Amino acid sequence: MPPNHSPALIQLQETLNGIATDAHSLYGQGKVASYIPALAQVAPRQFGMAVALVDGTCVSTGSAGTQFSIQSISKLFTFVLALKLVGDEVWQRVGREPSGAAFNSMVQLETEKGIPRNPFINAGALVITDILTSRYAHLDTALLGALRRLSDSPDLNWDMQTAKSERDTAHRNMAMAYFMKSYGNFVNPPEQVLDNYCRQCAIEMSCSQLAQATMFLANGGLDIGPQAQSGEQFLSADATRRVNALLLTCGAYDAAGDFAYRIGLPVKTGVGGGIVAIVPGVGTVAVWGPELDAKGNSVLGAFALEQLVQRTGWSHD
Ligand code: GLN
């Protein structure tokens, strides 16, 4: 915390510390993701939380500086990049309805003719990565460049081992890519798109970096990080509002309704145990706890966000 902290900031710090203490009592209730072999190696009993406010201050607790695999949280960033590049054209290839099905489910793809329900489940994110693969010769470096700038972290990178571990076992995602190709909803070779997808999922960030990197979503699309100096309109205010609406309705896979009820904020979760939440006009929150519930969402992370909104009264409007 900066030396000239205000009483409100001190109170927020105390709130976070209290939540962290309570969250520790949930250790053992979930399991780390094991279907990606590299993720099974992560020590389960870890917790971090960071809150970045639109005035530039940041408060954190626990292991908020420890980097972890962002996994599906990358779907938020690739979707924003695709929106910036092709705008409303994305809706010709992906829907914007909650799926009500597991993040890696393919059941709806057949009845819905290869058009995934939304950009935040695996099938939808693969289409988005396909769109970006057509636009960037090196999507991995383009995405890292954007994230480094947004998070003011020039060293940000993806973990080669995690990417390889997922790529070697990505049979279901590959099947979905080929299935969508059979409906004409996939342009590039699935192998090439899967390479990019596994790299984006293997990007490692800390809670503090994630809170910073998503700040534009709390701020009408304006990136206010130190490198942006006077502020850069990273995404239009209109598109920002729409991204937040999608995060509220589709950001937690088949637990999106439960998250909206319990937490009521636009969120994006990932099987690395991270969750980012947007509080429009106020700031962003990133939490991390690798133990997941049956739907693949962080047990401690969801608990911590629920506690935070109860104690602060923060909501999506
Ligand atoms: N890389 C993971 C996958 O495709 C991401 C899933 C997730 O975080 N829910 O299975």
Pocket test for ligand 1, best of 72, 269, 288, 293 (most atoms within 8 A of CB): 72
For the question of residue 35 being annotated catalytic, the response is no
On the question of pLDDT at 2 being above 70, the answer is no
On the question of pLDDT at 291 being above 70, the answer is yes
For the question of residue 153 being annotated catalytic, the response is no
Spatial separation of the C-alpha atoms in residues 216 and 234, rounded to whole Å = 7
Q: Whose CA is nearest to atom 4 of ligand 1?
A: 122
On the question of pLDDT at 306 being above 60, the answer is yes
For the question of residue 60 being annotated catalytic, the response is no
Q: What is the pLDDT of residues 191-246, one digit of tens each?
A: 999 999 999 999 999 999 999 999 999 999 999 865 555 688 999 999 999 999 99
Res 230: pLDDT:
60
* Residue corresponding to tokens 């104690």: 311
Mean pLDDT of the chain: 95
Contact 286, 215 (CB under 8 A): no
Residue 232: half-sphere exposure toward Cβ, Cα within 13 Å:
9
Provide the percentage of residues in the chain whose pLDDT is more than 90: 95
Catalytic residue, candidates 99, 165, 197, 287: 197
- Rounded to the nearest angstrom, the distance between the alpha carbon of 181 and the centre of ligand 1 is 20
On the question of pLDDT at 40 being above 70, the answer is yes
Q: Mean pLDDT throughout 162-188?
A: 98
Res 110: pLDDT:
94
Res 228: pLDDT:
53
Res 231: pLDDT:
80
Res 317: pLDDT:
79
Q: What pTM did the predictor assign?
A: 0.96
Residues with CB under 6 A from ligand 1: 71-72, 103-104, 122, 166, 173, 201, 270-271, 296
CA 128 remoteness from chain centre: 14
Q: What is the pLDDT of residues 54-85, one digit of tens each?
A: 999 999 999 999 999 999 999 999 999 999 99
